[in-house]
Amino acid sequence: MFRGMFSAATGMGAQQLRLDVIANNLANVNTTGFKKSRGDFQDLMYQTIRPAGGELPSGGQMPIGQQIGLGVRPVGISKIFSQGEYVHTENEFDLAIEGKGFFKVMNNGIEYYTRAGNLKIDKDGFLTTPDGSRIQPEFSIDQKTTYVSVDQYGKITAYGPDNKPLSTGQLNLYTFPNQAGLSSEGRNLFLPTEASGEAVEGQPGVDGVGTLAQGYLEVSNVNVVEEMVNMIITQRAYELNSKAIQTADSMLERAYHLKA
Amino acid sequence: MDIGLNMAAYMGVRATRELAMVSQNLANASTKGFKRELYNNWQVAPPTPTVNGDVEGPFYVDVVSRDLGQGSLHETGSETDLALQGPGFFKVQTPRGIRYTRDGGFTLNAEYQLVTVEGHPVMGKNGPLTLDARDKMFGFDQEGGIHMDKNLSDQIVVVNFPNPQELRPEGHNLLVPGPLAGEEVDAENTQVLQGNIEMSNVDLVTESVALIDLNRRYESYLKLLETFVTADRKVVEEIGQKV
């Protein structure tokens, strides 16, 4: 009986975690370059009450044993790096990555990676993310620049008033063996970990890191309907796990009031 | 009378074990590849008359089996998520030896190996699978063949057992074959679906009905128990006094 209570309690914990993940996905539905997460769960462990192959009282062998599982445990929250949808913005500093790559940015001396391509120009003319992290390698734009073009191979050209190129640069992208192993640092930034492996630099359109699209933004890959459905299922599963605990409680109460 | 009393008590205990099982299923309602557990009561010996006219038995044992039916498929769009449609298991290499699983929520590790969420390599026909896809597109076909830029490079191993019920769960979504499971064979008619995962086959409605059912049965077993005890007391108090 108590086994059942504790299994159901682990189940409630798991559904709670799942709801946390769904809530974060929904909160970021309009975040540029956001990648949704999902909770991964595993069965906890099993208590063997009677092993298979044991002797039966009537002779013969038990073909099936008796093992009771003790619940569930969360094993990880993995990011799903499927492609988000593209939105046409016509803003020259909006860059969308079509493919697996990431931009490299520098913030407070630490190298981060991001897929959010809604770039800005800081006061010194450098290309930055909205929170002021400079794109690596740094690229500065002269004040006289009227137009900046970025082609799909990552070549940046700043044009002056008479349509003459003032400066050019190369914007490279980075991929990881295991994107799901990246650590989310908030502000749309990711840090590599031992699980993700080292960043591999590549030129857009040449090295399989994806291509760039100027004037487009990649919005989050969160599907609101899917998250809503998951939320309903999560709520029901949570309720039923609590019902199992209530049932155990009412059975205990009934046993306690046994008239003998 | 003793047999009835024992039987009522036993059925009560049995209901509590059933509750443990239903709780386990409910707790794992969102565990990928989890198979619903069933509690069965097997009669191993029929009621047999003994020499002094009493009846002995019937004897029961409880067995836990698993409903190996297909879990629902959930599209994730992640290229390393694989779902099995049909019988069979993926084969993974753990530090404790080869294990089997239906949980196809795999990822790549830093060495480009296809691994489980806990980092155990997934086995292909030529050993652990490596998918170095830095500048290539890779895809799985429905037979589990792995294509790198449309060239067949390896195949993921999907196996089955003559007696799949004998694969025992050891937690962590891993199964270990018991002595009666038989030799592994290649799974037939099983499709590998990329970009999908198989959810658990736990049905919340079935489990909630089971919860109500076992609760009511438990109450009636205890009522039965009380009736036997009351009858015993009556024998002692009323019939005993008249003698």
ipTM: 0.77
- B29 close contact with A: CB closer than 8 A: yes
Closest partner residue to B171 (CB to CB) among A42, A64, A236 is A42
Pairwise CB contact (< 8 Å): A240 & B26: yes
Residues of chain A found within 8 Å of residue B169, distances taken between Cβ atoms: 43, 46, 67, 69
User: Which pLDDT score, from 0 to 100, does residue B39 have?
Assistant: 83
Strands B55-56 and B59-66: unpaired
Query: What's the pLDDT at A63?
Result: 62
For residues A108 and A184, what is the distance between their CA atoms, to the nearest angstrom? 17
Question: pLDDT tens, position by position, for chain B (243 residues)?
Answer: 567 888 888 888 888 888 999 999 999 999 999 999 888 777 766 777 777 777 776 777 777 788 999 999 988 888 889 999 999 999 999 999 999 999 999 988 888 889 998 889 999 998 898 887 665 677 888 888 888 877 788 899 999 999 898 888 888 999 999 888 889 999 888 999 999 999 999 999 999 999 999 999 999 999 999 999 898 888 888 887 765
In chain A, beta strands by DSSP E: 37-43, 46-50, 66-69, 72-79, 86-88, 95-98, 103-107, 110-114, 120-121, 127-128, 134-136, 147-150, 155-159, 165-170, 173-175, 183-184, 189-191, 200-202, 211-214, 216-218
Q: Measured between beta carbons, which residues in chain B are less than 8 angstroms from residue A174?
A: none
A181/B107 touch (CB, cutoff 8 Å), yes or no: yes
Q: Give the mean model confidence (pLDDT) for residues A128-148.
A: 86
Q: How far A140 CA lies from chain B's nearest CA (Å)?
A: 30
Check if the beta carbon of residue B144 is closer than 8 Å to that of residue B62.
no
A189's tokens: 């930034």
B20 with A241: Cβ contact below 8 A? no
Angle at A179 between CA B157 and CA A120, to 5 degrees: 155
pLDDT for A56 equals 63
Please name the residues between 76 and 115 in chain B that touch chain A, using a CB distance below 8 Å.
Answer: 76-78, 103, 105, 107-112
- Residue A173 · residue A33 · CB < 8 Å: no
CB contact under 8 A, B173 and A64: no
Q: Which residues are CB-neighbours of B195 under 8 A, at least 6 positions away?
A: B75, B76, B77, B78, B79, B81
Better pLDDT: A48 or B117? B117
- Mean pLDDT for chain A overall: 88
Q: Is there a contact between B77 and A178 if contact means CB atoms under 8 Å apart?
A: no
Judging contacts by C-beta atoms under 8 Å, the chain A residues touching residue B21 are 4, 68-69
Interchain proximity A58–B45, CB inside 8 Å: yes
Pairwise CB contact (< 8 Å): A43 & B31: yes
Cβ atoms A149, A160 nearer than 8 A: no
A56-70, A241-255, B37-51: lowest mean pLDDT where? A56-70
What's the rounded mean pLDDT across residues A5-19?
A: 93
Binary contact (A43, B34; C-beta < 8 A): yes
Q: Return the pLDDT at B11.
A: 86
| pLDDT for position A13 | 93
* Inter-chain touch B31–A181, beta carbons under 8 Å: no
Backbone angles phi, psi at B21, to 5 degrees: -70, -45
Q: Closest by alpha carbon to A87, among A220, A215, A217, A211?
A: A217
The answer to whether B120 faces chain A, any CB pair under 8 Å, is no
Asked whether the beta carbons of residue B165 and residue A64 sit closer than 8 angstroms, the reply is: yes
- The stretch A125-130 carries a mean pLDDT of 89
Q: To which residue do tokens 């990246």 refer?
A: A182
Residues from chain A that touch B77, judged by Cβ atoms under 8 A, are 80, 82-83, 221
**Of A64, A178, A202, which has the smallest distance from its Cβ to B109's Cβ?**
A178
pTM for the structure as a whole = 0.82
Q: What residue has token string 């060239």?
A: B151
Give residue B73's pLDDT: 92
